[in-house]
Structure 1
Amino acid sequence: MKNFQQHALMVALGVAASVTSVTALADGHSASHKYEAYLGAARQFIDGKRGIDNDTGVVVGLGYVLDENWTIEGVFNGFKADTEVGAVDVDGRHYRLDAVYNLARNGAWQPFLVGGAGDQGFDVEGGNNNRETAINFGGGAKYFLSDEWALRGDLRAIHSLDEEATDYALGLGVAYLMGAKSAPQKLDSDGDTVEDSLDQCPNTPAGVAVDGKGCPLDSDRDGVFDYGDLCPNTPMGTKVDKDGCPEKIAKTVSIELQVNFDTDSSKVKPQYMSELKDVAEFMKQYNKTNVELAGHTDSRGTDVYNQALSKRRADAVAKVLVETFDVEAGRVTSNGYGESRPVADNNTAEGRAANRRVVAEISTETVE
């Protein structure tokens, strides 16, 4: 009996080793065939209810390929074992019809699910012969050595409908792939001369030059295809917009103005004319900018008086911008805030001088 086990296992593994030594690894493409002949060995894990030892047997199968996903297989699984008590010989056999569902292939590997039904029997030497109807299900994987040969392993549960017992089988073997199918027609839906199965850029516009992957050319490698690139030959590494042109960078530009006044005065001193001219030129350069001139006073005097004085100071600066430096009047507004917004201590002469002021800040967004 042990010689039978060893012989079955050595046949399956010997065939697999021979195939491995004389074939090259598959290139990862799906093989085209109609039939699969399978020879292997399976380790039987017998349900403890049967009182039979686990053992190893031979598996032989023949499959018919329906399509890229489905294969129908007829399988014979035979083994010899001993009873747990008395070491009586038991011949086990399993005839079944299986459906194999092949999952997506990844390189040389292809996982699959399997299930089916059939007849199994246990013949006890000098005793009763037992026949049962059984269903099985499980999964495994194929490793394609070439377009004609593949290694195959699977694990399945075999459930008897008559005895309510479930055995398990772990199989390993080699499959021979036969009957080449006619080559499928190569499709090229977008007409770019690269077939759909290899085309990484489907739906390329008609007449556009493409590379070997079916993608439009991008000569300056800026991420925008040549046919839509309005700025060809962009220097390498330049950030570009959707048209392939150097990306314009937005930034904020600004200018500040501060004009100080003598006590109880709204006269603009000559020393501030150059600063006012800079503000006017800034507003002319960025012609969508507007300015609010904010007038302020120190704390001496009444609130009402200081409010009016701060407004006169703002109006005086506005008049210089409009009449002296030709800024459009509609872009300039002036407001007085009296003594309500000090920036320094009104208890000192220096602090009061700092608070007698007109200030403005102008900013805008621009692109380069």
Structure 2
Amino acid sequence: MKRSMLFTAVAIATMSANTQAQEAPSYENWVGGFAQYYAPDSDKPEPLGYLDDGKTLGGELGFRFDPNWGIRFELSRIFLDMVGPNRPGFGDDGVMLGADAMYFLDNEAAYFFGGLREQSIEDNYRMMSYGVGKHWEVSENVRVITELAGYRDFGQAYNEYSAKLGLAYIFGQTSSAPVRKDSDNDGVYDAVDRCPASPAGTVVDATGCSVDMDKDGVLNSVDQCPNTPAGAKVSANGCEIKDADNDGVLDINDSCPNTPAGTEVNAKGCAVDLDKDSDGVLDSKDKCLDTPMTDKVDADGCSVLVEKEVSIAIDVLFANNSSKIENPDSQEFVEFVEFMNRYGNTIAVIEGHTSSVGRAEYNQFLSQKRADAVKQMLITKYGLDGTRLQAQGFGETQLKDPANTAEAHKINRRIEIKVSTKVKTKAAR
């Protein structure tokens, strides 16, 4: 019954192939023979499960409807070895009949397929087939077939695999069949490509030749400014030629593109012996031409640096009677670590504090434990050098809020991290 259903499906597919072949030109129809390495499911046949790897010999017939889609029919003879103490002989064989739908990638890179197989080995098995392959061109009418396939039994969930090597003869080609080669990978097949050696990345038209998208007279393949405004005068590389301040120096070479009209300029388009940044040093002697107006400068026109002390402090909150850090991912920790990494010669003091609830001796112990917890977290989570961190507990000796309220106690349960250093900064005028 199963085999008759598969033969019916094959017959319908063949009629469909003939119908489509009449409606559209043929694309590399083929007939071929092949050999396969075949790996059956080791549980077959039940209950003995004695089948081992073997081979198949067969033939196939394929039809292409267009450059991407086709169908294929297979008939093969299977020869399998046997293993195990219950094997009935030294080998077993059978027949497998199949049909697949095939999808060919552009440029014949490969094809994917899926379909049905009817297999007869001791028993009949109906399976789904799937896989990938490639037809390698040997000559105009000869192809080498390579293929890897898998099979899934619909009834008993068997999984089997095969590797195919075959030879195919191409027939049915017509003069309207397209040549699917694209030597320069520009998206235009060689059959219609008037410029078959276009450089990689070139934008081409329907004939495969480079286009001039911004219509500046420079082809896109050499145009470094592909969006030049219409009508603009351009150089050989397609970039607009402008002199916005009319100082005689083109903008592409002008370091001072807004020079006032009539100003004498140098080769870089900047005024001669002017003080562009108004720092009191003429441009001809100014080694820092863009000094901010707020900066004090030296004789070379560069900002004067002075030392300034900077510091950072953060708070860490804890639950009552706990040294567990509630917010280890806080942005304050991130900013603190960034500060420490920026100023590598600093040492931070981690101060632990508690509320006034409980005995003072215990609070001193808890505050030290909290400070140690923060130090360890900064080492393990954020990678800080432990030699740059000091932990010290102060208990309830430095309350921020002396009130005997829940809010005050929450504020007093904290960690303060203090660090300071001196850095160089720009002096103001």
Question: TM-score, structure 2 length as denominator?
Answer: 0.40
The structure with more radius of gyration: 1
TM-score by length of 1: 0.45
Structure with more strand by fraction: 1
Which structure exhibits the higher relative contact order, with contacts defined as CA atoms closer than 8 Å and separated by 6 or more residues? Answer: 1
